Amino acid sequence: MLLAAEVTAAAIIIQYWTESVPVAVWIAIILLVILALNIIAVSFFGEAEFIFCSIKILAILGLIVLGVVLFFGGGPNHDRLGFRYWKEGNPVSLIDYDLREDMLIYRQGAFNPFIAKGNTGKFLAFWYAFIKSGFAFIMSPELVVTAAGEAEAPRRNIPKAANRFIYRLFAFYVLGTLVIGVTVAYNDKSLLNAINNGEHAAGASPFVIAIQNAGIKGLNHVINAAILTSAWSSGNAWLFSGSRMLYSLALTDQAPKIFLRCNKNGVPWVAVLFTFAIGCLAFLNVSSNGATVFNWFTNITTISGFIAWIVVLITYIRFRKAMIFHNMLDALPFRTPLQPYSCWFSLVVMVLVTLTNGFYVFVPSRWNVSDFLVCYITIPIFLVLWFGHKVWSRNWRWCIPIREVDVWTGKDVADAEELEYEVREPRNLAEKIWFWIV
């Protein structure tokens, strides 16, 4: 469904330029290109991702610099924004004057109350944003691990990629969010139209809104194109990830064996086609507006990701106990700091956000059966699949005792494979820098 979500986002972004072409045409083109990149050969996938990610990195770095320039009034209109939008929103008309509060709505600033008033409303607004932001992270860090099976020298490259994730997280997500917060008001009309009415226009991206509001000509099209490649790249990655997970399930008899079929290039083409078929749900855009469909997909995939992370965290806690029991903890080629405490903390947070994912639908004035199902349907689906597997396999053991956890199988193969990779020794400063990057 992440594939469908990103294709939906890409279609919305394209409609910024024109709505004369049916959205189904754009969805079909995007899906077919992604399929071609995944099913022909993995090498094509890697090359495409390198190009897409390079564009994405350059774009976000450029937007951060642009945000700093606009912050200090360096745009064509020379309007020094500063932290204006953290104090208040855009000026509104008298129609928006709130007589009950005897105040202008736009003076809410960065913490615009949600559902309730005062500090309670501000906290609910923060928690709502905190939950929604999970969509950006639920399938990001584990892509590093998913690619490990097809990566060169995984014991060298996977720790490097994992350690750098936190820096990319800060640079691209935190600084990117900061730029949006200081350059676009929460009540900007273009933004609200995109959210509430599904209008495309400039509301397809807050970055584009900021550029247009600053009076910068032409750059909005460049940034919109960069954002399009980002959505396209994400869809590309999700098809790869989903198909490889399905392949892994088939390897352990938790999915039909047909998903083990590979072509001559080693691509699990049946798993790719099945994952692609689910991604075709993006065609729901044809009968509903893109914003609504995207909201469905983001809610369903976010709660699914939270549940997956709960399972991952529980699995890691038990894995770590097994490694300690067998005196194997020091044999791990990579260990993250603050364990197991950070893992337990993350587990508590994940359980909280899973249970409160749709807290807003329980407010009487906001109750909606459709929203409730979108927010919580994944929980019963997960339980049905879990218990269904127990019934199907007739295996009623709920967990393997720590002393019986197998931490040895495959280790000799991995050790032998690692010896085949050449140890890279930089010959000069340029190579040292390059080896640090890649």
How many other CB atoms are found less than 10 A from the CB of residue 243? 24
Compute the distance between CA of residue 72 and CA of residue 208 in angstroms, rounded to an integer: 18
Q: What is the pLDDT of residue 342?
A: 92
Length of the chain: 438
Compute the distance between CA of residue 227 and CA of residue 207 in angstroms, rounded to an integer: 9
In a domain, 253, yes or no: yes
Alpha helix locations (H) across 264-410? 269-279, 290-325, 341-355, 369-376, 378-393
Q: Which residue has the higher pLDDT, 260 or 419?
A: 260
Compute the distance between CA of residue 390 and CA of residue 27 in angstroms, rounded to an integer: 38
Q: Domain limits at 40?
A: 1-109+140-286
What's the pLDDT tens digit per position in 135-183? 777 766 776 776 676 667 777 777 877 777 778 778 778 888 888 888 8
Regarding whether 276 and 301 lie in a shared domain, the answer is: no
> In DSSP terms, which residues pair with 98 in a beta bridge?
103
User: Is 195:203 a contact under the CB 8 Å cutoff?
Assistant: yes
**Mapping DSSP to helix (H, G, I), strand (E, B) and coil, where does residue 281 land?**
helix
Tally the domains of the chain: 2
Compute the distance between CA of residue 251 and CA of residue 256 in angstroms, rounded to an integer: 9
In a domain, 209, yes or no: yes
Regarding whether 205 and 100 lie in a shared domain, the answer is: yes
6-10, 84-88, 356-360, 399-403: the lowest-pLDDT one:
84-88
The residue whose two tokens read 């599904």 is: 198
In a domain, 425, yes or no: no
Rounded mean pLDDT, 316-342: 88
Regarding whether 230 and 153 lie in a shared domain, the answer is: yes
Which range among 126-130, 330-334, 363-367, 429-433 has the greatest average pLDDT?
Answer: 126-130
Q: Give the DSSP letter of residue 295.
A: H
**Cα distances (Å, whole numbers) of residue 85 to 81, 191, 423:** 8, 14, 52
Regarding whether 157 and 39 lie in a shared domain, the answer is: yes
Q: What is the pLDDT of residue 204?
A: 59
Regarding whether 370 and 269 lie in a shared domain, the answer is: no
Decide which of 236, 253, 286 is a domain's last residue. 286
The pLDDT confidence band at residue 53, using thresholds 50, 70 and 90, is confident
pLDDT at 437 over 60: yes
**Token digits of residue 64:** 């951060």
Q: Can you give the pTM of this predicted structure?
A: 0.74
Regarding whether 273 and 222 lie in a shared domain, the answer is: yes
**Token digits of residue 421:** 């990779």
User: Is 312:142 a contact under the CB 8 Å cutoff?
Assistant: yes
Mark residue 186 as left, alpha or beta (left: phi above 0; alpha: psi -120 to 50; beta: remaining). alpha
In a domain, 437, yes or no: no
What's the pLDDT tens digit per position in 106-136? 456 677 888 888 888 888 988 988 888 887 7
